[in-house]
A = this chain, B = another copy of it.
Amino acid sequence: MSAETKVQILDAAERLFAEHGFGDTSLRAITTQAKVNLASVNYHFGSKKQLIQEVLQRYLTVLMPAVDDELQNLLRRQPSPDVGQVFSCLVKPLLSLNLVHPDGTAIFVRLLGRGYSESQGHLRKYITFHYGAVLRAFVHAVHLAVPQLSPAEIFWRLHFAIGTFVFTMASSKALSEIALADYDQEVTVEGIIARLMPYISAGVGAPGTEVSPHPLMDIA
């Protein structure tokens, strides 16, 4: 029954973390919802911090290799991809999280948003450390798609894209409610992702403006 308890904790934790954030979700709230004893979190995971890590890990170990596969597939059949194609490599892997877990895509992507804005760069470092190769492959593919942009420009644009994505997903619940009330739109995660792609593709692929980062030095 050990595995049972661990899974119940992870399932309850990911939902509460996604909805209220890591800091504002207490272990008591998690164990109550998971119907397990309070102490079992520390018994099975050691600490709250490690619980958070395992919650994210469960998704990352599925997502990242899938993204890597998609990228390799794309570049094999299309050595000069466009931006839309590169970003589309994220779609299927993201949606496949729905098969791993009901509502998995939405939950993971909200967790990602929380992790990026709450953990002061902790999550970023974790991903960079454990999945650096996949990240580099992705950046490389983007570079193939928009070779006219400098590496620095690509760096910024990619983080803009992450921001667009992560923020939208973190607020997706509220946004969906507004869309339903104001525009009679029933919204799904797939729908939001589909709407995001043109925006991100156009943004990342926008004409480069190698802005001087030292406006005052133009005078000197």
Residues in chain A within 8 A of chain B (CB atoms): 20-21, 23-24, 113-114, 116-118, 120-121, 124, 151-153, 155-157, 159-168, 170-171, 174-175, 178-179, 182-183, 185-188, 190-192, 194-196, 198-209, 211-215
Contacts and interface: CB of A to CB of B under 8 A. Distances in A.
Nearest to A201: B206
Nearest to A197: B209
Contacts of A178: 155
Chain A contact residues: helix, strand, loop or mixed: helix
30 contacts: A20-B120, A21-B118, A23-B24, A117-B117, A117-B167, A117-B171, A121-B171, A151-B183, A152-B179, A152-B183, A152-B185, A155-B182, A155-B183, A156-B175, A157-B199, A160-B199, A161-B164, A162-B167, A163-B163, A163-B166, A163-B167, A163-B168, A163-B171, A188-B215, A191-B212, A191-B214, A200-B203, A202-B202, A202-B203, A202-B206
B198 A213 contact: no
Per assembly, the copies of the chain total 2
A195 B120 contact: no
Nearest to A212: B191
B170 A160 contact: no
B183 A211 contact: no
